[in-house]
A and B are shown apart, each in its own frame.
Chain A
Amino acid sequence: MDAVKRYFRSPAAVIGLILLLLVIAMAVSAGWLYPRDPLALAGRPLLWPFTNPRFLLGTDNSGRDIAAQIFYGARISLLIGGVATIIAILIGILVGAFAGYYGGWVDNVLMRITEAFQTLPNFVLLLVLVAVFGSTLTTVTIAVGVVSWPAPARLTRAEFLSLRNREFVQAGKTLGMRDIQLILGEILPNALPPVIVYASVVMAVAILLESALAFLRLSDPNVASWGNLIGLGRDVLRVQWYVSAIPGIAILVTVLAVSLVGQGLNDALNPRLKSR
């Protein structure tokens, strides 16, 4: 439990955790605080924040409650960020593990593919995927996951390369364990911690990618997402800039929270690096 103690000794990590819990609380309580559809008409359009107690954060161009959209948007951001991260990490672990464990031509082929994904700009590939498969919540989530796996793959591969010739793996081989047992049961648990920590970076980027896509109106228009709201607010930016400003702060806080928690985990799990 040293790691937990170390985590809570860092003020930045604690702040990150509090912010993250706050965003999660928003996502959980959205349906309970705002039982109505957040995309339904609620009142007069373009009410400034704090002018009407019914709409604390005001209303957008078409009279929808901004606060409700922020709460429901937390769900969408966490959902897309979380699921896309899981997809990216799973693909990354699979590719990295096989490349690192087998080496030789398997490594060569897999690394070429990884390189191809890294050479093509993330966001451009994301545009291609959206152009081909459309922009529903599911396709956007999968697309964000599919463009984010190369970095975790490289990380996993590096871990596997350094672990595959250790004594415990040799011992497993001598015992007659099959490759898949060695990869999943022996090496992977040891290779996992840095990859899990890196997941926070993937998640932060995934949330930013989705919000950028939504801002360009290429994400699912039928859900209340922060990026959508910023894109909508752009039409009234000159005077009612708050429509864009508020959801942007929500994105900033969420990404900041995820990064701080990731950094805190990293420092807690690798205490030697911290002292630098």
Chain B
Amino acid sequence: MRILSLAGRRLAASIPTLILILIGVFLLLQLAPGDTVDALMAQMGGGDAATAEALRKFYGLDLSVPAQLGNYLWHLVRLDLGFSAIYGKPVATVILERLPPTILLMTASLSFAFFFGLVFGVIAARGVNRWPDTLISTLGLIFYATPSFWFGLMAIVVFSVYLQWLPPGGFEDIGTVQTGIWRLLDIASHLVLPTLTLGLIFLAIYLRIMRASMLEVLNLDFIRTARAKGLDETHVITRHVLRNALLPMVTLIGLQAGTMLGGSVVVESVFSLPGLGRLAYESVVQRDLNTLLGIVFVSALLVIIVNFVVDLLYARLDPRIAAEG
């Protein structure tokens, strides 16, 4: 319970941050050339000034900027993100449709990066300064420097064009209607390359952090005690070192949540996945500012939620944190 109230307090503290972001981006978007009505008129193939005037009145765009901002925030309290002129649907609906692929992609990439980062980090730390460590650390450096979109393109060339093992893009095969397990497998095969592409840079970061934190924990007194008790090496590593070395890794998930969401913009564009990131890109290109603002809100919210979960996990891994709270 103590953990929950502690994490809850941090969650409450992030509400002002969220409002600050919204106000900032809202005011920023006022500077953008053209508004929703311009986009709409362009969509309709032009129209006279009177129609534009009426539409502006309809969308509340004739009000002063503070009044519009107040309106927006007031609607937001009721989870109404406004209307997307481009998609002809409420922004909340558009975003909800696009959310599942992104969340799936992020979860898969995070799991991939976390698991392999952990494994490689442990292997590197066990053989520090010998060839496995050198090899893994070098690979980590190269992965860190690889632009994700470029890796994605090259993966398409190798695995989709030449080997033809995996589909080059899309979320599922739309040519054939599939149900149940086959549909699941189909989606999974579409997500393999995007997951690798998005996860690569995080794999590099995680393995580096895991290696450093393993090396640090291995030098602590309680590890010497565990060894002195006569525990075998596997036991020492899994039960004593790992649990403590995991703490920085878990912190990193929270810190990197935003970066990962940003990365999915690029990766979803490479693999034409119909997700939130691609929606962000499309709304910039199509000047759909209402949707863009909605995406800003939802992505900030996602980051805050991830950090909330990380707080809970953290307290579970290290009971001292909850006790101190």
* Chain A residues with a Cβ under 8 A of chain B: 12, 112-113, 115-116, 118-133, 204, 208, 211-212, 215-216, 218, 227, 230, 233-234, 237-238, 241, 244-245, 247-248, 251-253, 255-256, 259-260, 276
Contact = CB atoms under 8 A, between A and B. Distances in A.
B266 A218 contact: no
Given A123-B263, A241-B153, 13 more contacts: A12-B141, A122-B259, A128-B25, A129-B28, A204-B145, A208-B147, A212-B148, A212-B266, A230-B153, A238-B157, A241-B154, A251-B147, A252-B142
A208 B18 CA distance: 27
A118 B236 CA distance: 37
Q: Which DSSP category, helix, strand, loop or mixed, fits chain A's interface?
A: helix
Contact of A234 (B145, B153, B261): B153
Given A230-B153, A241-B154, A256-B141, A112 B147 contact: no
Contacts of B216: 276
A250 B280 CA distance: 28
A221 to B, nearest CB: 13
A256 B147 CA distance: 11
Contact of B258 (A119, A234, A251, A260): A119
Contacts of B280: 124, 127
A58 to B, nearest CB: 16
Interface string B228-271: 00000000000000000000000000000011011101100100
Given A119-B304, A131-B32, A215-B149, A124 B295 contact: yes
Interface of B: 14, 16-18, 20-21, 24-25, 28-29, 31-32, 141-142, 144-151, 153-154, 156-157, 161, 212, 215-216, 258-259, 261-263, 265-266, 269, 280-281, 284-285, 287, 289, 292, 295-296, 299-300, 303-304
A116 to B, nearest CB: 4
Contacts of A241: 153-154, 157, 161
Given A124-B280, A259-B141, A116 B24 contact: yes
Contact of B215 (A124, A234, A276): A276
B17 A115 contact: yes
B16 A112 contact: yes
Nearest to A130: B284
Contacts of B284: 127-128, 130-131, 218
B154 A245 contact: yes
Nearest to A113: B20
A245 B158 CA distance: 12
Given A237-B157, A255-B145, A119 B14 contact: yes
A218 B265 CA distance: 13
A8 B16 CA distance: 48
Contact of A112 (B17, B161, B292, B296): B17
